[in-house]
Structure formats: structure tokens, C-alpha cells
Amino acid sequence: MDMDSGFAIIPNVWTSAQLEAIGHAVHAGSHRSRAGARHLMGEAGVDALARDSRMADIASRVLGTAAIPFRATFFDKSREANWLVVWHQDTALPMRRRHDTPGWGPWSRKAGILYAHAPASALERVVAIRVHLDDSTADNGPLRVLPGSHRLGVLTDAAMAELKSRLPAVDCVVPAGGVLLMRPLIVHSSSKSTSAAPRRVLHIEYAGSLTIEEGVELDVA
């Protein structure tokens, strides 16, 4: 699978009926806000989806090894919950326990889960698959990426701003039932929706092992 640019789109992975079941799995028992929900791997339906052979095979092809899902997040952008996300990289990972390994930190807690910002060496071992429950269009706040930026390591805000000034951004327009693969280090953002159409996305992250580096374990969240 070609991930040289740091992202890829695969249409027609899930049918309409399967998307309805995925929607039920996301909503079942989850503590959520209008904008979505964090830490969904504890939901049986979401866990089953994340381990489905279609998802696991896609992640394995990118990682080059068996893929283990470790975090699931639901985003629900709509007219009632509409937001702007500035250009950034996804560098915080859920951790089993605190450690003093160089390159990790700062540390924080989100909804009871321990997090640390990770070095590029760990983030390069992660891929995210975003399942689109609705059509993601140019009008409803799609993910925007700077292709190839994942190869530059962990960047400062100033470096990302400079990169945005010289690299053309790409809107990741994905049909309902399709998936978007992305590396956490790709610089990305999301504009506010200007459409009444919802944009629901289930974002699941995979690694080849929960031991992401020697002595460093990811938590399942």
C-alpha cells in the first residue's frame, strides 16, 4: 500500500448496513459529548470492529507486521457541534505507566488515562484508520493534510507554520463506507463545516506491539 505521502484513502470498505451497526457500536454505553467520544476501545462493538480482518489487514500492510488496535476516538462534526482544528501532529499516546525514558513527555491525564508526548521513533510505528460513517466533503470540515510532512519528525508550531506556507494542502474527501489511513506525524488540520451534512468519523489507532519501545508500553483506550 502506497503511504509515501503519509495518508491514503480506500473507498467501499463498509456497506450502508455495516455503517449503521458501527454507529450503534459507537453510541452503545459511551460517555460522549456533542462533538464525539474518547477512549472507546472498552466498548465491545468498537473493539470487534477494530479487530475485524478488514481493518487489521489494512493496518498490517502499512506497519509490515500484525497490527494491534490500542485507541479509538469518535468525532461527530455537525451544525450543533462545529469546530476548527489548527495545523498540528498527533504526538500524545496513552501509556500503561509513567517512565523516565528520554524523549517522552510532557505527561498528562485525559479522562483518567495517562498520556505522554512521544518521540518520532515511536510515532513512526503507529498508523490510524479513520472509518467514515458519512460522506466527508469539501464543505463539511474534512481532514486537511500536508503530504509528506510525516517524514520530518516532530515539528514545532513555527516549523509547521513555515511548512504550511510552502506546501499545498490536500482535502481528504472520503465517501461514507470508505477509510482514510494516516500517519500520526503528518501535519493536519480541519476547518469548520459550512454544510448541514454531518461528518461522523471513528478514528482507530494501531501499532505492531503495545511495547512501543523497550520498557515503554501503550495503554488500550
Assess if residue 115 is contained within a domain.
no
Assess if residue 107 is contained within a domain.
no
Assess if residue 108 is contained within a domain.
no
Rg (CA), the chain: 17
- For the chain, the domain total comes to 1
Assess if residue 147 is contained within a domain.
yes
Say how far apart CA 126 and CA 203 lie, in whole Å. 13
Assess if residue 106 is contained within a domain.
no
SS3 16: helix
**Helical segments of 16-156, H only:** 16-27, 44-51, 53-63, 120-123
Kindly report, residue by residue over 41-80, the tens digit of the pLDDT: 999 999 999 999 999 999 999 999 999 999 999 999 877 7
Assess if residue 100 is contained within a domain.
no
Range of the domain at 179: 7-93+124-208
Assess if residue 215 is contained within a domain.
no
- Whether the CB-CB separation of 185 and 122 falls below 8 Å is answered with no
Question: Taking the CA of residue 105 as centre, how many other CA atoms within 13 Å lie in the half-sphere pointing to its CB?
Answer: 9
Assess if residue 58 is contained within a domain.
yes
Kindly report, residue by residue over 84-132, the tens digit of the pLDDT: 789 999 999 999 999 999 999 999 999 999 999 999 999 999 999 999 9
Q: Distances from the Cα of 168 to the Cαs of 9, 152, 201, in angstroms?
A: 18, 16, 24
